[in-house]
Structure 1
Amino acid sequence: MPRTTLSRWLTANVPHFGPYVAIAAAMNVLALALGGTGLTDTADQILGTGDWTQLHTWAALLLKIGISGLGFLPVGVAAYVAYGVAGRPALVPGLLGGMAAMGMEGGLLVGLTAGLIAGATTLALQRVPVPAKTPAALVPFLASLITSAAVFVLADVLLNPLTTWLHQKMAYLEFHDTALLGVFLGLMVCSDLGGMISKTAVAFGTVGVSGYDASKFSPIDMTIMAAVVAAGMVPPLALTLATLVRRTLFTDAERTYGKASWLFGATFVPEGAIPFALADPLRVIPASMAGGAVSGALTMTLNPTISVPYGGVLAVGDMGKPLLFAVAVAAGVLVTAGTAIALKTLRRPAPAAIRPATTRVRTGRKTSAAV
């Protein structure tokens, strides 16, 4: 598969998934703005009452829809990529592979991997000689089986052991090197933007601030939570900044989406950077991880705190040392924006972009085109 073709498919995701992510993330933001940051803990209980005369009930519904929408993203990504690789026969394998990724909370990267596996498997199976009366559904069936199995094997053989090791490493660093712990947390939160690795970091931070009596939380636990939140805010904020600083490095769809993505960063919705990551994963994700690592390390060094695992700036009332928290976020944003711009600047132009310009050659009274 030519690299330029794959790049074109991924870039084409932005017009489709930009609005999808924007709407789902906006529902999260609006829900927290209407119902308060504590809504995340009480949404199920509020919906259980069924009192639709209360604003909190509608806010809880918005939150549930938004969270479900972002959780469904791996399915859409896998199906879209699979369709781009092998057409309609790969659509169902992509959907089922994406559902497997969603079931294991694999996030963006696993969904993208499932789509590529589904497309490649479908192409390979289509080249196998079969009898003329073979059912047309055989190729999608086999491709679905192979893709789903591959996703589960990926989780069982690679991701589950990796997340277990990371959790053990973070537990060790908590008592031995807090700055390095911040680096780990930042790298994890920004590595898959809401996927399995990111959720492992969020869960590690949430354990220390679980419960309803914030006065009993230890300062180190609240600083760990602050490092997770600060790092998660970095990618959407930074990529919005990058689209403003170097507009020519981004497509029209990315620049349009960048006008809204900063809001998702400000409210700690890391998934807000997914459209950028889909378009250019090999540059956007490393840049995001670099800024997240800086933000996490600075947070653990400066010791701001937060007692809730959500909300971003909406949870400023639950923060300690909010100015130092803002410094850590700003540093990460600058690092990610600068790194993304640098990496995109080094990118080789596509063949169409380097084709010599057409010139006009005058021959007598007629003008002809020459290249």
Structure 2
Amino acid sequence: MKLIDLFKSKSSFFNKDLKSKKEVIDFLADNLLNQKIIKSKAEFTKAILAREKQDSTGIGDGIAIPHALNKTVLDATVAFVSLKKPIEWGSLDNKPVDLIFMIATNGTDGEEHLVALSQLSTHLMKSEKQAQLRKTKTFTEFKAIFAEEKKTEVKLVATNKHFDVIGITACPTGIAHTYMAQEKLLESAHELGLTAKIETQGRRGTEDRLTKEDIDNAKVIILAHDKAIAGLDRFNGKEVIDTTSKDAIYNGKKLIENFKDNPKKVVIKAAKSKDDDNSDFSLKKFKDIKGNLLGGVSRMLPFVVAGGIILGLGFLIDSLTGTTGGNLGVTNEFAGILSGLGKTAMFMMVPILGGYIAYSIVGPQGLMPGIIAGMIADGSGGFLWGKFSNDNMWAALWSRILPNNIPTTSGFIGAMVGAYVAAFIVFGLTKGMSKMPKSFAGVRDIVFIPLLSLIGVGVSMLALSIPLGYAMFGMQEGLKWLAYQNLIVLVAGILGLMMCVDMGGPINKIAYVIGTLTVGAAANKGIYIEFIQNGTTYNYASIFMGASMAAGMIPPLGIALCTVVFKKTWAAKERDAAKANWLMGAFFITEGAIPFMVSDPKRISVSALVGGTITGLLVGALEIGLGSPHGGVVVFPLLRSFLFEGQLGVAMGIVFYILAIIVGVAIMALILGFWKTADIKKGKLLVESEIVKKEKVRVAKKAIRA
């Protein structure tokens, strides 16, 4: 829809005598109600006034654009009134207003709200149109002012094909001021005989994106924004004017003219953005498998950690009150409250994994289909997979069309594959619709791409669910076979090694995710190996979680212990920094070891691998299971050694677990300490004390020679 189509003759008024802001809003709202454009004046004016409280809609130059997107609106309309005498509106430039445009939309009939605000703001930037509006007496003249103009094409500099002036504009709402600032900077540049390209980061996403070539060859760079700019690191090392959108709107020409001497000029030093929603949209993103998987896992972890700990507390409360077996966590009322909250968070674990893998590849448009892919893979909600029941006609809606007993839930494996499928679908749809007119951009992004990507990912996951389900089933059966062959110790050792390979990197996260799949597995379709002891059923596979957490505690604790036992092999600053590792290690924060590994990768990595592997093997050999995915010492009461029965299993589980960690930490600390000591003696490693000693010798020799 075009802006001109939103104006109506019976809702446009000229040269009215209204005395205040409230009187103007009431006058226009009454008219909209009488014209049956809105259903409720009270509800509509409430929405208008709520928007005014957020920030004045007086955009300056005597113009105000009050607006509301509200369900009471029946027909998208822009009402207009010009006043005999200007009134106070609290405008950006502190001047009274005499031209008021009231936008009324409901959000259900396309992007009228976005079109109205952005296009209206752009038109009203031009002083000649403002003058025409103040002289206009009829609706015909009024509409003629907003008739579509042939847009002047921005021309490149003939000699080198580069732009003289570039910039970015962005405001919190991403509508009016974003596009007004862009228009003003383009207009000012052209008045000065310069070419310009201005990127906008608004409600439509990033438009007119600046390339590296644009940035490297520009003479003037202006960042006019009222919120954080995505991709700021593109300007690292460049001199830019960093200002507000308001400054660009009212002083655009001065900013360009006085670029060299402008006090707002700064040199950008921004960190590389890890989650740049507006970064280049290309197939290269699909190749970064490590980064994409970590993007999903890092966003999934809060759900797993918080949900798992709360779920574990529910289990713990029931355990302390004497509950056993399958009713653990749901018998005591307070335990049930905690368990329900924990389960809700854990329920979202796989969908969030899928959603944010897709998000890391194609940005926000990938979030919805990625989450749906994860939910389909996990069977979340019970709508798609399971067994049909006459008592619940909404259950197993997809399973009904498949043969019985076919595995269809694929958990995190399906979520990862489904996320890539969702990203490819979004990528294809976005590229295919890239040439749609800007007026349809909102409908494309809010309706077409989400709708078609949902259908696409649904059809794809329906086809993929059987092979993916068999893949997950095969992994579970393989782990069960290892357990029945008494080889679960080997798996625990491998998980312990993986936890210490990159200490928070992708290999560490794979091991950790395997462990988390055993937490609440019977309900969450994770890895479940039934173990019955005195009539009570346990998940024997929880040993994987026990091995993962114990091994993950080794690197930070091993480094902390080494700095105490082998004090002379560490610099004073390193010893001070390592003190924090006692706490981080105790609470299962493996990443505490990363700064030390970066400075000494060989010694710390090898010693951690040995310590973590031995700890994993011990946890497996002592059959220690853990029912919580995080927490370190906090969740030790949830440990259990399956070698013992009843409460003795809990007690011995805690004792053996602490023993396994102590052994792993001691081994790592000894290997690391003796290795560093040997290398210091060989002259391969210098620490603070050795450097000081050598400096004293050098000074003494110099003094003797003198």
TM-score normalised according to structure 1 size: 0.50
**1:187 is the counterpart of 2:497:** yes
What residue in structure 1 maps to residue 309 of structure 2?
37
Q: 1:323 to 1:170 in 2, by over 3 A?
A: farther
Contact 1:233–1:329, Cα closer than 8 Å, also in 2: yes
What residue in structure 2 maps to residue 250 of structure 1?
570
What residue in structure 2 maps to residue 45 of structure 1?
none
Offset of 1:182 from its aligned partner? 1.8
Identify the range of structure 1 (287-296 vs 205-214) with the bigger mean alpha-carbon deviation.
205-214
**What amino acid sits opposite 2:518 in the alignment?**
G
Superposition pairs of residues 110-259 of structure 1, within 5 angstroms: 171=479, 173-176=482-485, 177-210=487-520, 218-259=538-579
Q: 1:169 to 1:350 in 2, by over 3 A?
A: farther
Q: Distance in 2 between matches of 1:223 and 1:315?
A: 14
Q: Distance in 2 between matches of 1:185 and 1:36?
A: 19
| Structure with bigger RCO (C-alpha 8 Å, 6+ apart) | 1
What residue in structure 1 maps to residue 698 of structure 2?
358
Contact 1:205–1:309, Cα closer than 8 Å, also in 2: yes
Q: 1:350 to 1:249 in 2, by over 3 A?
A: closer
Between Structure 1 and Structure 2, how many residues are aligned?
215
Offset of 1:210 from its aligned partner? 3.6
Q: Distance in 2 between matches of 1:254 and 1:350?
A: 13
Contact 1:222–1:306, Cα closer than 8 Å, also in 2: yes
Q: Deviations over 1:177-232 (max 9, x none)?
A: 12221221111001100111011111111112245969987442111110111101
What residue in structure 1 maps to residue 215 of structure 2?
none
Q: Distance in 1 between matches of 2:565 and 2:587?
A: 22
Offset of 1:370 from its aligned partner? 3.0
Q: Distance in 1 between matches of 2:545 and 2:585?
A: 16
Q: Deviations over 1:125-176 (max 9, x none)?
A: xxxxxxxxxxxxxxxxxxxxxxxxxxxxxxxxxxxxxxx9xx8998474454
Contact 2:552–2:588, Cα closer than 8 Å, also in 1: yes
Contact 2:584–2:590, Cα closer than 8 Å, also in 1: yes
Offset of 1:298 from its aligned partner? 0.3
What residue in structure 1 maps to residue 685 of structure 2?
349
Q: Distance in 2 between matches of 1:298 and 1:246?
A: 26
SS of equivalent to 1:296: helix
What residue in structure 2 maps to residue 336 of structure 1?
668
Superposition pairs of residues 302-341 of structure 1, within 5 angstroms: 302-320=622-640, 321-341=653-673
Superposition pairs of residues 16-95 of structure 1, within 5 angstroms: 37-38=309-310
Contact 1:209–1:221, Cα closer than 8 Å, also in 2: no
Q: 1:290 to 1:250 in 2, by over 3 A?
A: same
**What amino acid sits opposite 2:628 in the alignment?**
V
User: Greater helix percent: which structure?
Assistant: 1
Q: 1:173 to 1:275 in 2, by over 3 A?
A: farther
SS of equivalent to 2:540: helix
Q: 1:170 to 1:297 in 2, by over 3 A?
A: farther
Offset of 1:318 from its aligned partner? 1.8
**1:290 is the counterpart of 2:635:** no
The runs of 5 or more residues in structure 2 that have no matched partner are 1-300, 314-340, 346-415, 417-471, 531-536, 641-652
**What amino acid sits opposite 1:235 in the alignment?**
P
SS of equivalent to 1:322: helix
Q: 1:199 to 1:325 in 2, by over 3 A?
A: same
Q: Distance in 1 between matches of 2:670 and 2:703?
A: 45
Contact 2:312–2:627, Cα closer than 8 Å, also in 1: no
SS of equivalent to 1:268: coil
RMSD: 3.9
**What amino acid sits opposite 1:197 in the alignment?**
I
What residue in structure 2 maps to residue 16 of structure 1?
none
Q: Distance in 2 between matches of 1:284 and 1:40?
A: 33
SS of equivalent to 1:38: helix
Q: Distance in 1 between matches of 2:601 and 2:504?
A: 15
Offset of 1:310 from its aligned partner? 0.4
The runs of 5 or more residues in structure 1 that have no matched partner are 1-27, 42-55, 61-103, 105-163, 362-366
Q: Distance in 1 between matches of 2:308 and 2:509?
A: 22
SS of equivalent to 1:305: strand
**1:268 is the counterpart of 2:588:** yes
